[in-house]
Structure 1
Amino acid sequence: MTLSILDLAMIVLPAAAYLDQYKKIIKSGDTGTFNPATCGVLLVCNIIRVFFWLARRFDTVLLYQSFVMIVAQFLLLELCVRVQHRRRRPSLQIKSMKDYTSAFWAWPHFSHYLAFCAALAGGLWLLHLIFGSSAAYADLVGAVALGIEATVPMPQAWNNYKRKSTFGLSWIVIMSWFGGDLFKIGYYIASGAPAQFTMCGFVQFSVDVIICYQIARYSVYTRVGSTTSPVSAIKMGTAL
């Protein structure tokens, strides 16, 4: 299979956009308002997307895109866990399944996230062996994968709303979401991808618009000081 420049852009650019967020966290030593739940949503939906491809062989470019995104999100998540680990209470430990579930996606060690993703992939592989030849199963897996992917910007939008701040959030990441989702919608339609992909793209783009509005609104708060001062905005952005 020969990949065009457009194909390579589709594979690499969605994940490459997170490089700026990675650099921001390294530079500041803080995750700011970036929500690690975003990594979780992307990991889960892309792992499921791989099994969607196994059940229904759509464009291979979208499969490669999932692999690249999985690697990128593991790298970003590991950094977030490492940075947040330095600020956690020493008593926060996972000693039982109850601890594991009650601290879901706020675990103290990166190995816990790896174990969860491995268990998810193992369960999906078992289901694929049993139901993989069923068209209804393929449609269900696609709906779940792309339904979850549609929620990718939602944790960030909710986090911004709660904090009334977007301090520490990479503009490049948000603009890549905005432009990238428009690009993906066009690509999905042109390449004849399953309908789940196109619907996912439209939902994501709608939330992108909300986040752009939040950035404009909360930056006005900070500049004007009508409800939030620069100092308090920073405190909200760094208090995790």
Structure 2
Amino acid sequence: MDWVISDELSLTVGHVVGWVSAAAMIIGGVIPYIPQYRQIKRTKDADGFSLLVCLALLVANTLRIIFWFGRHFEYPLLVQSLIMNVTMFVMVHLCVTIRNRKQLIQARKRIFTDFDAKHFWNWSDFQSYLDCMLLFTIASSLLMYLFIDYMVFVEIVGFLAVFTEAMLGAPQLVKNYRNKSTEGMSISMVVLWTCGDIFKTSYFLLRDAPVQFWVCGSLQVTIDLLILLQVYIYKTNSDPNRTGAHRID
């Protein structure tokens, strides 16, 4: 009787841990952007945050959603992708709004339908970002529909999804290197990135996710650590008189 109770208790604990892990996966990816959002809103300055981070995550999670139709993976990862896309559009909307308000002289509007590669992902209105991602989603969905029976194609889509996400910190890494500073970037965001990516990669390993997921997750953790190293290297280059500089929320 005791061993039956013990097995039932272990099973219950296992279910609870599974649900907690799934919930952490769903909302954990969003949490790092809360301090960055608050910092941009407080300082009215979005220059320290690279919008290419949002582009990388929007592309990655859109591809991951499409990959799910070719090879079903766990639902928490699918839900996480949907929520992350919404979060990234919220970040883009804030950054575009702040940037437009800061312009003392109204510049010529740059929109997606200009199809000017020089200003790609640097448009003046939020609608252009929506249009761009809508076109990308339609095109990639059509390709998946046509080639869904070709497993090589499906696996390539899965790899591109997780590799793009793994490289999401790269634009911020490059921006910090060019500026020789991490001003305007929320350090809290990067710390939470690192913690979340370590958890996520461990989750991939323990849950037997496709191999692309945990390999690229390891790459993502590496980039996070490099950005944290930049914070240490460039700490003497920050301007203490600048509002919100290096403030951890």
Tell me if TM exceeds 0.5.
Answer: yes
**One-letter amino acid of the structure 2 residue matched with residue 58 of structure 1:** F
Conserved 8 A contact 2:111-2:128: no
Structure 1 residues 175 and 95 mapped into 2: Cα distance closer, same or farther (>3 Å)? closer
Mean Cα displacement is larger for which, 98-107 or 206-215?
98-107
Conserved 8 A contact 2:112-2:132: no
Which consecutive residues of structure 2, in runs of 5 or more, have no partner in the other structure? 1-15
Which consecutive residues of structure 1, in runs of 5 or more, have no partner in the other structure? 223-228
The separation in 2 between residues aligned to 1:146 and 1:15, in whole angstroms, is: 17
The correspondence of residues 42-61 of structure 1 with structure 2, limited to 5 A, is 42-61=57-76
Q: From 82, 86, 110, give the equivalent of 1:71.
A: 86
1:196 aligns with 2:196: no
Conserved 8 A contact 1:30-1:83: yes
Structure 1 residues 136 and 94 mapped into 2: Cα distance closer, same or farther (>3 Å)? same
Give the TM-score, by structure 1 length: 0.88
The separation in 1 between residues aligned to 2:115 and 2:151, in whole angstroms, is: 38
**One-letter amino acid of the structure 1 residue matched with residue 122 of structure 2:** A
Mean Cα displacement is larger for which, 19-28 or 163-172?
163-172
Kindly provide the CA deviation profile for residues 58-103 of structure 1, in whole angstroms up to 9, marking residues without a partner as x: 1111101101100111101100011111234523223785554321
Structure 1 residues 53 and 135 mapped into 2: Cα distance closer, same or farther (>3 Å)? same
Instruction: Tell me what 1:92 maps to.
Output: 108
Instruction: Tell me what 1:120 maps to.
Output: 136
1:162 aligns with 2:167: no
Give the TM-score, by structure 2 length: 0.85
Conserved 8 A contact 1:33-1:165: no
Shift of 1:27: 0.6
Instruction: Tell me what 2:225 maps to.
Output: 209
Q: Identity over the aligned pairs, expressed in percent?
A: 31
SS at match of 1:15: coil
Conserved 8 A contact 1:100-1:107: no
Structure 1 residues 95 and 14 mapped into 2: Cα distance closer, same or farther (>3 Å)? closer
The separation in 1 between residues aligned to 2:99 and 2:112, in whole angstroms, is: 21
Q: Moved runs in structure 1, 4+ residues, more than 3 A?
A: 94-100
Q: From 3, 11, 31, give the equivalent of 1:16.
A: 31
Structure 1 residues 53 and 95 mapped into 2: Cα distance closer, same or farther (>3 Å)? closer
**One-letter amino acid of the structure 2 residue matched with residue 199 of structure 1:** V
The separation in 1 between residues aligned to 2:50 and 2:112, in whole angstroms, is: 25
The separation in 1 between residues aligned to 2:51 and 2:224, in whole angstroms, is: 17
Q: From 187, 192, 196, give the equivalent of 1:176.
A: 192
Conserved 8 A contact 1:12-1:65: yes
Shift of 1:205: 0.9
Conserved 8 A contact 1:58-1:193: yes
The separation in 2 between residues aligned to 1:192 and 1:59, in whole angstroms, is: 10
Q: From 22, 29, 32, give the equivalent of 1:7.
A: 22
Instruction: Tell me what 1:81 maps to.
Output: 96
The separation in 2 between residues aligned to 1:46 and 1:166, in whole angstroms, is: 26
Kindly provide the CA deviation profile for residues 170-225 of structure 1, in whole angstroms up to 9, marking residues without a partner as x: 12210111111111111000111111111111111111111111111111344xxx
Mean Cα displacement is larger for which, 94-103 or 118-127?
94-103
The separation in 2 between residues aligned to 1:116 and 1:98, in whole angstroms, is: 12
Kindly provide the CA deviation profile for residues 94-133 of structure 1, in whole angstroms up to 9, marking residues without a partner as x: 3785554321010000000000000011111211221112
Higher-Rg member (1/2): 2
Instruction: Tell me what 1:225 maps to.
Output: none
Mean Cα displacement is larger for which, 109-118 or 210-219?
210-219
Instruction: Tell me what 2:3 maps to.
Output: none
C-alpha RMSD of the superposition: 2.1
The correspondence of residues 218-229 of structure 1 with structure 2, limited to 5 A, is 218-222=234-238
